[in-house]
């Protein structure tokens, strides 16, 4: 390798190292790009109806904000009411537990009475765990504030990208060599179409999961079934972990009525999760973005391992984009051309009847062709 090649290799390694150090920022930027792409595609649909660009963007943003407001309106007030009812029943539950312990002491032999704990001793033994829980709650609050700040950052970036997407796209394309910029622009078009397909598939899966949850909870006569169903549908955006989180408030609210109802809710959510993960999401994603079921699961494991919770949340759109770039750049423009080129050269040498000087000239001309042709 000459000096220029060594400098290029070092530059690539340093670039990868810097990108790894700022991976969380890059994920936030990618989330803003996904949201801006979705709203931009919706604005284009409005533009096809004869609406001006500014009004179309305003309508898209308004629909997005309206969906957020409706979500919080349906979920937050019922949960606040049920949480208050749950906190009122906690002292009653402790009193029942204490009376049950007293009844147990009366039934067992006197020799075993000292081994039956009372409520105060149990509270003392649980004090270290309570302190840990309080500390974790402070960490949760600080983490929630961080989530809010990151969400605001994503929304601000989304607005910037949506205001003039062509300018930001042009800046990104200019990062590539001049002979490859038209090819990159076409790849970005494919990414945009695939992201729209992913959003459509995710919306279908969310709607099906939410509807199944509302119907099942209504049959079980669980309180706030609509709010719980909407929450289950929204958390379905987080693969595998989302359905597990959504079952916790549903079981807690069902526990206000009867213990058996809480167990029934657990069974219901298990059935819904298995149906969603094994049938709904694989079928929808395979139809919308042509992702194999095993690829979706492997991508979730990969991105959550290297990028944490945010990587898990963005695993599927990241996989959609990565699939297109690998397929178009690595496979089509490098590997396929590489194999075809070697095959053509070998075939030319074996069957050509031209003079050696002319053959060598043709081979040289073939090597000068661009790789993306």
Domains of the chain: which residue ranges?
A: 10-94+144-174, 176-373
Compute, in degrees rounded to 10, the torsion defined by CA atoms 21, 27, 28, 31.
170
Q: What angle do CA 18, 21, 22 make, to 5 degrees?
A: 90
Cβ(53)–Cβ(182) below 8 Å = no
pTM (2 d.p.) = 0.65
What is the spatial distance between Cα 373 and Cα 369, in angstroms, rounded to a whole number?
7
DSSP annotation of 110 reads G
What is the spatial distance between Cα 56 and Cα 154, in angstroms, rounded to a whole number?
21
DSSP annotation of 108 reads S
Q: Mind listing the pLDDT tens digit of every residue in the chain (373 residues)? A: 677 767 877 877 887 788 788 888 888 888 898 889 888 888 888 888 888 888 988 899 899 899 888 888 887 787 777 777 666 665 665 666 667 666 666 677 666 666 656 656 655 555 565 555 445 444 444 456 777 788 888 888 898 888 888 899 999 999 888 888 999 999 999 888 888 888 888 888 888 888 999 999 999 888 888 888 888 888 887 766 677 788 888 888 887 777 788 889 889 998 988 887 777 766 766 666 666 667 777 777 788 787 777 777 788 888 888 888 888 888 888 878 776 654 444 444 444 444 444 444 444 444 444 444 3
Of 84, 127, 133, 66, the C-alpha closest to 253 is 84
Q: Map residue 322 onto helix, strand or coil.
A: helix
Q: What is the CB neighbour count within 10 angstroms for residue 288?
A: 19
Q: Taken in order 331, 333, 335, 336, is the CA torsion positive or negative?
A: positive
Of 130, 101, 128, the C-alpha closest to 116 is 101
Widest Cα–Cα separation across the chain = 111
Cβ(288)–Cβ(197) below 8 Å = yes
**Residues near 355 by Cβ (< 8 Å), separated by ≥ 6?**
none
Q: How far does Cα 289 stand from its chain's mean position?
A: 15
What is the chain's alpha carbon radius of gyration, rounded to the nearest angstrom?
A: 29
**Residues near 153 by Cβ (< 8 Å), separated by ≥ 6?**
28, 32
């Amino acid at each position: 390798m000459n000096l220029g090649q060594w400098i290029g290799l070092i530059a690539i390694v340093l670039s990868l190292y810097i990108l790894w150090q700022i991976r969380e920022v890059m994920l936030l930027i990618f989330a803003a790009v996904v949201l801006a792409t979705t709203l931009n595609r919706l604005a284009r649909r409005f533009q096809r109806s004869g609406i001006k660009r500014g009004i179309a963007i305003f309508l898209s943003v308004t629909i997005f904000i309206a969906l957020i407001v409706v979500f919080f309106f349906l979920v937050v007030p019922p949960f606040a009411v049920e949480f208050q009812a749950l906190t009122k029943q906690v002292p009653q539950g402790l009193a029942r537990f204490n009376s049950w312990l007293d009844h147990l002491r009366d039934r067992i032999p006197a020799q075993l009475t000292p081994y039956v704990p009372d409520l105060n001793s149990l509270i003392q033994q649980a004090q270290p765990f309570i302190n840990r829980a309080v500390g974790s709650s402070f960490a949760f609050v600080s983490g929630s504030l961080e989530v809010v700040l990151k969400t605001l950052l994503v929304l601000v970036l989304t607005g910037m990208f949506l205001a003039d997407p062509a300018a930001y796209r042009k800046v990104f394309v200019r990062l590539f060599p001049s002979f490859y910029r038209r090819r990159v622009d076409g790849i970005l078009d494919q990414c945009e179409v695939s992201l729209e397909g992913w959003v459509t598939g995710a919306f279908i899966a969310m709607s099906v999961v939410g509807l199944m949850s509302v119907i099942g909870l209504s049959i079980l006569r669980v309180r706030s079934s609509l709010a719980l169903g909407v929450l289950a549908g929204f958390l379905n955006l987080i693969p595998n972990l989302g359905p597990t989180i959504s079952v916790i408030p549903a079981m807690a609210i069902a526990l206000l009525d009867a213990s058996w109802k809480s167990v029934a809710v657990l069974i219901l959510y298990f059935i819904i999760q298995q149906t969603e993960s094994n049938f709904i999401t694989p079928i929808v994603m395979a139809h919308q973005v042509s992702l194999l079921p095993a690829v979706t699961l492997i991508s979730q494991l990969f991105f959550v391992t290297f990028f944490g919770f945010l990587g898990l949340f963005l695993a599927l759109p990241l996989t959609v984009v990565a699939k297109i770039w690998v397929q178009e750049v690595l496979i089509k423009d490098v590997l396929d051309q590489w194999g075809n080129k070697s095959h053509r050269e070998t075939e030319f040498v074996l069957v050509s009847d031209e003079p050696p000087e002319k053959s060598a000239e043709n081979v040289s001309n073939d090597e000068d062709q661009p790789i993306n042709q």
